[in-house]
Structure 1
Amino acid sequence: MSDLSAKEKEIVKFAFSIYDFEGKNEVDGVYLGDVLRAVNLNPTDKQVAEQGGTVRKKDKFFKVDEFFKMFSEIKKDKDSGSYEDFMELLLTYDKMEDGHVVLTELEYILNNLGERLEKYEVDGVIAELCPEPDDDDMVEYEPFVMKLTKGLKK
């Protein structure tokens, strides 16, 4: 816990308190991923499970001191992907080397690489972050990656 700044501790306590629905100074493990995302982290479902997150309510509860440790560990994790990582990946799909990829290939990447997303999740990400495709169904990927990684440490 000593590696957290006073501001980080304050932010973590506030987010934690929002998910302390019963006022018992604890959060249900089913909301662990939500709390981590509320403090601007981007854990995968696997990371949440590794930290003790649950899929059923009332299986496990966490105190704020336990959450500080989880916050620190997830914050240090380098596997969350950066702007550079995403750009490098998409360059391999950029056949014309002009900053564009076929929309269906972008959907394939989101659906199959890394932590698998459901079709409705991919559709939501595309609708929210992706520029309109051109007549050839090509999209410019840099604006998409910029929106996708906004707020992530590079």
Structure 2
Amino acid sequence: MASDLSARDIERAKFAFSIYDFEGKDTVDAFDLGSVLRALSLVPTLKTVEKLGGEKKKGQKKFTIEEFLAIYSQAKKDTDVGNFDDFKECLKLYDKSEDGTMIFDELRHILLAMGEKLEMDEVNEIIKDCAVPPDEDGFTRYQVFLDKLKAGPFKEEE
């Protein structure tokens, strides 16, 4: 086991691991590695998950809890990830009038050019689901975009 993890970290990791042990064989498919790490409040990129041993197809490889704990320990050390506040600050740089708006096409450009490479159809889907259509001057409210993006694909029940 990873010696630099606290007892609480190990307990939480074992619980998250058990949730993704769909077959009850004390293993987790490498395809689900990113999901298990995200369940533990980490935000690894797809590239990071792949570097840690994640697979793009199910059934290629399985991890035991000991292997996962070493991966979890490594993922916790990875500081090359952004968070929500970092993304908000980035968008503020494009808010020239400091009124909570930015040029709609700049938002599209940011999604295409920064961070992990997204395909145009992925960007279009994110824009469609999260962004407010531009006003007559071509501006959109980026806070609304961020709020919808952070909420994820599932609508909260009231």
Same-fold status (TM-score > 0.5): yes
Q: What does 1:1-154 correspond to in 2, within 5 Å?
A: 1-126=2-127, 129-130=130-131, 133-142=134-143, 144-145=145-146
Question: Comparing 113-122 with 13-22, which one deviates more in the overlay?
Answer: 113-122
CA contact (8 A) 2:30 2:54 kept: yes
Structure-1 separation of matches of 2:143 and 2:24: 44
Instruction: Check the 8 A contact 1:27/1:62 in 2, yes or no.
Output: yes
Does structure 2 retain, via aligned residues, the 8 Å contact 1:111–1:119?
yes
Tell me how far 1:109 sits from its aligned partner. 0.9
Alpha-carbon deviation of 1:133? 4.5
Q: Indicate how the Cα distance of structure 1 residues 58 and 93 shifts in structure 2: closer, same or farther if over 3 A, else same.
A: same
**Runs of at least 5 residues in structure 1 that lack an aligned partner in the other structure:** none
Deviates more, 1:44-53 or 1:75-84: 75-84
Distance in 2, matches of 1:141 and 1:40, equals: 24
- Compared CA separation, residues 124 and 17, structure 1 to 2 (3 A): farther
Q: Which moved more, 1:112-121 or 1:16-25?
A: 112-121
Deviations 1:13-61 (CA, angstroms, capped at 9, x unpaired): 1221122122111111122112212222111111111111122333221
Q: Distance in 2 between matches of 1:12 and 1:137?
A: 46
Instruction: State the shift of 1:93 in Å.
Output: 2.0
Identity %: 48
User: Which shifted more, 110-119 or 38-47?
Assistant: 110-119
TM-score under structure 1 normalisation?
A: 0.76
Calculate the aligned-residue CA RMSD, in Å: 2.7
Where does structure 2 lack aligned partners over 5 or more consecutive residues?
152-158
Task: Give the aligned length.
Answer: 150
Q: How many angstroms apart in 2 are the aligned matches of 1:23 and 1:46?
A: 28
